[in-house]
Structures are given as C-alpha cells and as structure tokens.
Structure 1
Amino acid sequence: MRTLKKISVTTCVLGLLITTLTGCGGGAAETSKETQVAKGQEGKPKVAVVLKTVSSQYWKFVEAGAKKAFQDLGVEGTVVGPASESQIMEQVNMMEDVLNQKPDALVVAPTQPATAIPVFDRYKQAGIPVLLVDSDANWTDKTAFIGTDNTTAGKTGGEALAKMLKKGDKVALIAGALGNPATDERIKGAKEALTSAGMVIAAEQPADSDKDKAMSVMENMLQTNPDIKGVFSANDDMAIGALRAVTAKGLDIKVIGTDGTIEAVESILSGKLAGSVAQSPYNMGYKGVENAVKAIKGEAVEKRIDSGVEMITKENAQKKLEFLKSISK
C-alpha cells in the first residue's frame, strides 16, 4: 500500500510539474524563447550618438549612416541632438542624460568641445569610450576622431572661389556659431586660400549655421560692401541663406558652401549656388558606430580617421545628387 501511495503521490507531483511547465498551448517553449530574446537584447552593444542638431540635412546623413551601422552590426543604438547648433548647453545636457543611461560607448559631434570636456571626463571615469565625429576636441582621452580635415575643406572651397574671381576682388566669409571648431577651421582655411590668391576679405561674420540668420548677415554685408564679388560659407544652410539675399538684390555674386547637401547640390545644378565642398557625413556616422563597437570589444582603433572632401561644381553635381538620394531612402 505504501508503495502504491508513493507512486500515486509521485505521479501527481509529476503531473502538476508538467502542467506548470507546459501551460496552455506549450507555454514552456514560449517562455524559453522570450528569455532567449531578452538575453539577445542585453548582449547587444549599446552605442549612443549625440549630434549637433537633428534638424538639418547634413546631420540627417550622419544619422542615416549611424543607423545603418546599428542595423549591420547588431547594435542597440540611439541618435539624439538639439533643435539647432546654437543650443550648446542643450547638447551638453543630452550627453549627461545619455551617461545616466550607461551606454557602452558614446559617439558625439561636439558643437563647442571646450564646454563638453568636463562631461567627457565623466565618461572616462565611468570607463565609457568617447569617439568624436565631424568636430575634434583638444581632449587626449578620446578614443578616436572621425571626420574631415576642416582646414583643408576651407582651403578647397577658397581655392575654388578664387578661380571664379580675379585678383583684388572683394569676398565675404560667413562663419558658424562662435567656438564651433569645424566651422572656425573652414573659415581659417578659406581665408588663407583667398588671401594667397590676392582676394580682399571685406567682411566676416557668424550666422550660427542658420539660413535665416545668414540671409540677414548677407544683407548687412551688402549694405556696407555692395561690391562684394564672392562669398565662402562654412556650411550649406548658410550658403543658401546668403544666396537668397544676393538673389533678392539681383546681384551676380559667387557663393560657395560646405557640406554637399541635397539642397545645395540641386542649387548648383540649377546654376544658383557656385559650388559646395562635400564631406562624407554618412560615412562619419557609420564609421563612428563601427569603431565604437571595436572599442567596446577591446580591438585597436585608429586615433584619427580622415573622411576626406570633394569639391562639387556643376560638372559633377548630378552624380553627387544621385548618390545622396540613394542614401536618403
């Protein structure tokens, strides 16, 4: 009898155990699958990308490259940025918020690097690698810088503009937000090239990488110097804004921008903008994430990765436009 009771109790216990595990419709298999998915998500490297802004076309190309890298490399990633490049402290606050989320790596395009360095130091203390894209910083603990040599970009644009003018012509320079090293270096390079070619720098003002501000700045420049013959702008949005002011006055002034955005390339094709120094923002975003993953894995990462520049004029604008539209889909 005791043996039968033992068998009966054991059978009941086994039955309850099987019922608990299987549930309705094979719950045990589903629970196991859910656990595997959760583990897979936890196992993904977490990379945060903080841009100067997410509202301009140039930065949307950087974002597109980063997101493609997230997809290709199995990364749990986020991309954030303030509404405009002038919101320096907003970007710093975003980096602090991201730090609290404990990412495995930070990819950032600092608008004002000197202001961001204290936050970078906090990332270092937390053991989180920091990779800079587009704009470098005088911070020795960065894992890498991926971007354009901005002085070279400025020189390339300045040389192209000088070839469209004659010695002694007056030119204007439109800079980005004060303290933005990328746009500052472009202006420096353009100034060197234009001065060397015999051009006269008649005016230089910042427009915070904003179209409307650039239009207003250009209008003011023309009031003081109505005989300006050429303009170099540190980005394409400002170049488009300056062009609007020039067009409104019916003047023939050569305007060259920087970045190679779709809007700029279309303007070049239509004979309005004289040219643009194209960077590789898509590659910056992709390589930023790609090298962040290498750093997370403990692999060697080059300290400086030059993404290069290309001068876009009417001759090669169509080919560039087709490429840009292909990565915008």
Structure 2
Amino acid sequence: MNGKLKWFGAALVISCMALVTGCGDGDKKAGGSEEESVAVVLKTLSSPYWKYVEAGAKAAGKDLGITVSVVGPSAESEVIQQVNMLEDQINQSPGAIVVAPSQPDTVVPVLETAAQNVPVILIDSDADFEGKTTFIGTENKTAGLEGGKLLASTLQKGDEVVLISGALGNPATDARIKGAKEALEEAGLEVVAEQPGDSDKTKAMSVMENILQKNGDVKGVFAANDDMALGVLRAVEAKGLDIKVIGTDGTEEAVESILEGKLAGTIAQSPYNMGYQGVENALKAINGDKVDKRLDSGIDIITIKNAEEKLEFLKSISK
C-alpha cells in the first residue's frame, strides 16, 4: 500500500510540474510581442539612405516591444555578402525576415526556403517567389519618371543629358533609370551616356569625369541615388561647369546641397517609413493578421521650395 501511495505521490508531483511548465509557456506566448524577433537585412549600412531605413526599423521594434536586428554588407555591390548575411539571420530562427535584396534573382532560392517557415517581407526592391508576404516600397520607375521630368523642366529641348545608374542588376536603380530615360526622351532631350556608378559617391565622380572628357556639351544629369548625384556634382564643380544634377532618395546631405544651390533637386523616398512599416507588417504576419500584398511608400519631389522642411524632418530622425 505504501508503494502505491509513493507512486501516486510521484505521479502527482510530475503532473503538477508539467502543469506549471505548460502554464509558463502559455504566459510567454500570451505576452507575445516582447518575445518576438524580426531580422532586417538591407543592401548596405554604409549610406545615409539605408541608415534612415535602419532607424525606422529600430523605432518600430522599440514601439512594438520586439527585438529587431539590422544587418547589411559594406556596399550595395557586395551581393554574395548580403546572401551570406541573410542565411546567417535565417539560421538564428527569427519570427520574420525583412529584406531589401540587392540582386533579387540571386537571393530568391534562399527567400523561398525561408518563406516555408517564417513570413518574408520585401522592402525597397521587389522579387517574385513562392510564399512572399508583401512588398513595401517606392514604385521606382515612377520615381525615375518624376526625376526625368524635373530635370527636363530645367533644360531646353535638344540638350544633352547623362544617366548614372546603380550597380548592374540592382532592380531599384535600374527601374529609376528606365523611368528617367523615358521622361527625358519624351521631353526631347538627348541621352548621350548611361554608366553605372555602383551607388557610390567616389565611383560616380570618376565615371562623370570620364564622361565629360568625351561629352563637353552635357547640360543635365539624372543619378539613381543621391550619393552618386553628389559624386557627379563634385566632378561638375571641378570643371567649373553649369550642369543641372538631379538625385534620388532625399538624403540629408542631398537636401543640404539643394539649399546651398548646388543639386537641382532629388526625388525623395520614405526610407524611415519603409523600415518602420517593414517591421510593423512583419509583426502582423507573425500574429496571423492580414497584410496587403503590396504597400506603396510613396515619393516626394524635393527642390529649393520645400528643402528646408524636409531637412528638419531628416535631422529629427538622424539623432
């Protein structure tokens, strides 16, 4: 009889321990968001634009009470480094992944595998693959069209213009160049050169120097990001030329240049909102809430007329 009582007592203790443990797990899941994590993999963390995206993602993490890790390669052209970083983040089993793919075709196999287990949200650059949760970003061709129209409005029909694209195969910058080219040609301007600047200020400066040696009558330049636009501007200023330069992204340095009367304008995206919405919608997907398949983060045309207001906002999120 004593043996049966001992067995019953032990079973009761085990049952109670199991009950307590089960309740503990339930409390963690009920608490929910503070235990969740979102991995954000960007094209790079070396440029102001991506720093704004990072700031938005981290702000969302703080507001929503979730852990957000943000990583990115040393340059947008480091495609394999980004793939390695993405695989490393996946191996850490986050609740969701937010990705801005530098070269979508290269990362699609990794994203397809990841989407079988966790929500995958794309920002800035889209890609088609099975299981994608949503895409959040600017319609890049539209941004390019607006940039081309803005540049054309400062020039005369028949003027020669140059296009400075990003790293080869980067869909975001490629789409911007395509849109700008359409707008410029429709306005009767002649595109005399189209060269990649790899989204890098120094590279774009060098590329523009070479272009100016062969094309001395250039009157305008559209660059697919602001770092390249500022690099182009250096080359133009060194030659003492009056060439209108339009950038894309709306970075703080570019807006300051507009206020100084240097850059003619920039087509601003909403990188801070893009990062914030990426994390916000990642959490929605984790919780099983409905997420729209495509979210347009919009554009803003920045010229000397509204640059001051834009600069104040950028400084407020750069702290």
Q: Secondary structure at the match of 1:141?
A: coil
In structure 2, which of residues 81, 97, 121 is the aligned counterpart of residue 90 of structure 1? 81
2-side partners of 1:193 and 1:117: how far apart? 31
Task: Note the C-alpha offset of 1:142.
Answer: 1.1
2-side partners of 1:165 and 1:42: how far apart? 53
Structure 1 match to 2:95: 104
User: How many residues align structurally?
Assistant: 293
1-side partners of 2:33 and 2:139: how far apart? 37
Task: Note the C-alpha offset of 1:76.
Answer: 1.2
Structure 2 match to 1:10: none
Task: Note the C-alpha offset of 1:40.
Answer: 6.4
Q: TM-score, normalised by structure 2?
A: 0.90
Would you say the 8 A contact 2:166–2:174 is kept in 1? yes
Q: Deviations over 1:176-196 (max 9, x none)?
A: 001100000000000000000
In structure 2, which of residues 188, 192, 195 is the aligned counterpart of residue 202 of structure 1? 192
1:172 maps onto 2:162 in alignment: yes
Structure 2 match to 1:8: none
Q: Secondary structure at the match of 2:46?
A: coil
1-side partners of 2:82 and 2:159: how far apart? 39
Task: Note the C-alpha offset of 1:121.
Answer: 1.4
Q: Deviations over 1:267-321 (max 9, x none)?
A: 0000000100000000000000000000000000000000000110001000000
2-side partners of 1:328 and 1:42: how far apart? 26
1:59 maps onto 2:11 in alignment: no
Gaps of 5+ in 2: 1-26
Structure 1 match to 2:302: 312
Mark the structure with the bigger radius of gyration. Answer: 1
Structure 2 match to 1:11: none
Structure 2 match to 1:252: 242
Structure 1 match to 2:137: 147
1-side partners of 2:285 and 2:209: how far apart? 48
1:4-43 matches, cutoff 5 A: none
Q: Deviations over 1:18-55 (max 9, x none)?
A: xxxxxxxxxxxxxxxxxx99x96995211000000011
Would you say the 8 A contact 2:33–2:65 is kept in 1? no
Structure 2 match to 1:268: 258
Would you say the 8 A contact 2:112–2:129 is kept in 1? no
1-side partners of 2:80 and 2:108: how far apart? 12
In structure 2, which of residues 240, 250, 274 is the aligned counterpart of residue 284 of structure 1? 274
2-side partners of 1:247 and 1:140: how far apart? 48
1:328 maps onto 2:310 in alignment: no
In structure 1, which of residues 43, 55, 69 is the aligned counterpart of residue 60 of structure 2? 69
C-alpha spacing 1:252/1:121, structure 2 compared with 1 (3 Å): same
2-side partners of 1:94 and 1:119: how far apart? 11
Structure 1 match to 2:231: 241
1:119 maps onto 2:113 in alignment: no
Structure 2 match to 1:7: none
Q: Secondary structure at the match of 1:97?
A: helix
Q: Deviations over 1:199-235 (max 9, x none)?
A: 0000000011000000000001101111000000000
2-side partners of 1:209 and 1:139: how far apart? 26
1:179-198 matches, cutoff 5 A: 179-198=169-188
Task: Note the C-alpha offset of 1:139.
Answer: 2.1
1:163 maps onto 2:157 in alignment: no
Q: Deviations over 1:134-193 (max 9, x none)?
A: 111122421000000000000000000000000000000000001100000000000000
Task: Note the C-alpha offset of 1:96.
Answer: 0.4
Q: Secondary structure at the match of 1:326?
A: helix
Q: Percent identity?
A: 67
Detail structure 1 runs of 4+ shifted over 6 Å in the superposition.
39-42
1:302 maps onto 2:292 in alignment: yes
